Each structure stands twice: as C-alpha cells, then as structure tokens.
Homo-oligomer: A and B are copies of this chain.
Amino acid sequence: MLFFRVKSAQEVRALLARPVPRLAEETVGLFDAVGRVLARDVIAPAALPEFPRAVVDGYAVRAADTFGASSGTPAYLTLAGEVAMGQPATVPVRPGEAVRIATGGMVPEGGDAVVMLEHTELVGDGLIEVVRPVAPGENLVRPGDDIRAGERLLAAGHRLRPQDLGACAGLGITTLSVFRRPRVSLLPTGDEVILAEETPGPGQVRDINSVALAAAVNDAGGEPFPLPIVPDDPAMLRDAVHIALAESDLLLIAGGSSVGARDWTLEVLLGFPGAEALVHGVAIRPGKPVIVVAIGERLVFGLPGNPVSALIVFDQFVRPYLRRLAGEAVQPYPRTLSARMATSYASEPGKEDYVRVRLVASAEGWLAEPVLGKSTLISTMVAADGIVVVPEGVEGIEAGEPVTVHLF
C-alpha cells in the first residue's frame, strides 16, 4: 500500500502547470478552423485595405476645398464623375471637384476625404453644395489602416474566433496551421460498471462517466476516445493503460481511485517506466480521491468513479491542463456570473468545496440557490446552472453574500 499526503487544490494546480508536449500541426481551411488553436503566427501578406476606401456614401473631395463650409456659407464643388463599386477609380478629384462614391468604393486620386451625402445637396448643372467641412482622412480608410503588410495579425497559441477567420479571409489567407486536437482516452473501470445499453442486474450500474467526460473533452477542444470498461483487475488495467497510452495524449481513468480495497490504479500506473506520482488525493469536496501520474511526457488522471466528482475534477483540474495541451497560450476568460447566495451554506473546513447552485432571478439580481441532495447524485449536476467555489480556509457563505457562479 502506498501512502501520499492529500494536497490542496492550489498545490495540484501548481503541479499541473508543468510544460506540455507540443502536438503536431495540421492544415485546415478557414471554414473548419473556428475553435482550433494556431500553431504558427499569422503574418499579413498584404495590406488591408489595399486601396483607400470610403466608409460612407457621399463625395470624394479635397478636404481643403470644404474648409469653412456651413449651411450659411456652403462650399460649391463641381461633380466630376462617379466611382463604380469593384472598379478602379478612373476619374481623379481635382481642386474644386467632387466625385460621387458609395460606402466601400475606391477613393480616386487627389481625394483625401469623403463628404457624407447628408451634408451635401445636388444643386443642378453638375454642382454640389457642401454644408459641413471635412478634415483630411475623414470618412475614408487608407491602405494598411486596418492591417499593415508584414504585421503579425494573430499569434501562435491563439484559439480562433469568427473575427480572426474573417480577417484572414480579408487578407487572402485561406488555410491555417493549427495544432491537431489532443486525443483523450477515457477508460471506465469497475466490476460493477456496465455499458449504458445494457440492463443492470442487482449491484450493477451503467457507465455514466464515458459519455459525460467525452462531451466535456469535446467542449474543451480535445478528441475523446471512449474505451471498453475494465473490471477491477490489475493485469487487465495494466494492459488497457498500455494500449491507451500508445494512442493518446492524455488518459482519464474513471473509477478505481478511492482508498478502498480495490485501489490498484496507482500501483498499476507506477509500474510503467518513467512513471512519477504527482497527486494522490486532493482536499476538495466532492472529488477527493484524485490520482495524477506522469508517465514520460503524458499525464494520466485517475478520476473518482462517482460521476459528479469526476465532472467537477474535470472542470477544475483536467480542463485547464487540456487547454494548454491543445496549444492554447492563454486560458479563456472564465464563464462566470455575479450573484448573491440565496441561503446560508456551511462548508467542510480544510477543503475547497464546489457548491452546485441553481440561479434564480430576483429584483436584486441573480440569487444562487444551493441544490439540495447528497453530493454523489448526478441529478444535482443536472439541476444546477453552475458552481460556487468555497475556498479551503472558509467555513461557509452567509445568505445574501455576493458570490461568483462558475457557469456550466
């Protein structure tokens, strides 16, 4: 039997901040790239825009020709022509002249500003009245104003959002180098565990963890690989881990990590060459029996068999690691909501406590109402909208106290 000191949640977070292996790159098209993580910087091959563009409907002018213009003393300019959309601007703007232009049109040579249509009047005979002055550069964008040629548009390690892909399209960049998704193997264990498709006999339960963790892995940018259920047998567990390690970047074992009679997981994992135990037990509630073992460059998490604990441990510890493993340089902003505690909650001292809460709207803003029921019940997670974290040293939260709800 191996004994380890139970670690605090903060100690575990620090241990998991270790360097991650660099995953291979792959090339994806822009339409398949949202949510993927850039493997290389994106450098602008050209300027955006490549020509001066009007940002309003109106007239391209020489700004100096409009100085001092007002409703009382309008400036008069000669209409020299029109810019067709999608065409080169062929008619230049000479002193005293104006050229009709629509939003997005190419500002002709000589023009250094655009007067909005609303501030002009066509007074016949090809003459326009301008009732407000424009400054040089007003109502147009110059070449490179948006993105300069050679500029780093996006940095490696950035998770791609709709606007990032749009900017790439604007520059003619239609494929991107991204990291391949981390492969995350999910290994359910336990003599009592059967497939969700099967009918349990007395003492048997269906596998909840594989489907719930697969969804959570997907959501965090990983590619889940659910594996067959392994009974409580060290030799079979060793074989299953051996196969899983060869094919995955991260291995999550669910079950078999309580300090009970059948706790072989840690011993099996430490039997692999280069294995190092990082964590055996975390001072959290629910979820205490967590194992983390490094085998070479790869991590193996032994998650509690109880699905509530497994999901909470995933959220708190696996997800941030997985996002770094996916190549993400910066953790995303947490999805939180500010609320007040609806009822008082007493916490177990010496443990970081994850209180499942339901959000209720009130005249004073959101109320966080603790979900009743034993902490092992999956229905408490289904009924909850999120979690309030009670830090290790805090004994509880009073009704009415402000809290941050981490949304599911």
Contacts and interface: CB of A to CB of B under 8 A. Distances in A.
Interface of A: 30-31, 33-35, 48-51, 53, 55, 57, 83-89, 102-106, 117, 141, 145-147, 153-154, 160-174, 190-193, 196-216, 218-219, 226, 231-232, 258-262, 305-307, 311, 333-338, 359, 373-374, 376-379, 381-382, 385, 407-408
A300 to B, nearest CB: 20
Contacts of A103: 258, 260, 305-306
| Count of chain copies | 2
A211 B378 CA distance: 39
- Among A30, A198, A211, find the residue whose CB has the most chain B CB atoms closer than 10 A: A211
A242 to B, nearest CB: 23
Contacts of A385: 333
Given A57-B261, A261-B102, A226 B31 contact: yes
Contact of A382 (B88, B167, B200, B262): B167
A208 B169 contact: yes
- Among A49, A173, A205, find the residue whose CB has the most chain B CB atoms closer than 10 A: A205
Given A88-B201, A201-B88, A172 B206 contact: yes
Contact of A338 (B161, B226, B338, B377): B338
Given A166-B307, A172-B198, 9 more contacts: A86-B204, A87-B203, A106-B203, A141-B374, A166-B212, A168-B211, A169-B207, A169-B210, A170-B206
A167 B311 CA distance: 12
- Among A83, A167, A408, find the residue whose CB has the most chain B CB atoms closer than 10 A: A167
A165 B34 contact: no
Nearest to A100: B261
A170 B336 contact: no
Given A85-B232, A153-B382, A260-B103, A196 B174 contact: yes
A166 to B, nearest CB: 3
A162 B213 contact: yes
28 contacts: A30-B211, A31-B211, A35-B219, A55-B306, A55-B374, A85-B190, A85-B262, A86-B191, A88-B202, A88-B203, A89-B202, A89-B203, A102-B262, A105-B192, A146-B377, A146-B378, A153-B379, A162-B212, A162-B215, A163-B408, A165-B215, A166-B209, A167-B208, A168-B196, A169-B206, A172-B196, A333-B359, A336-B337
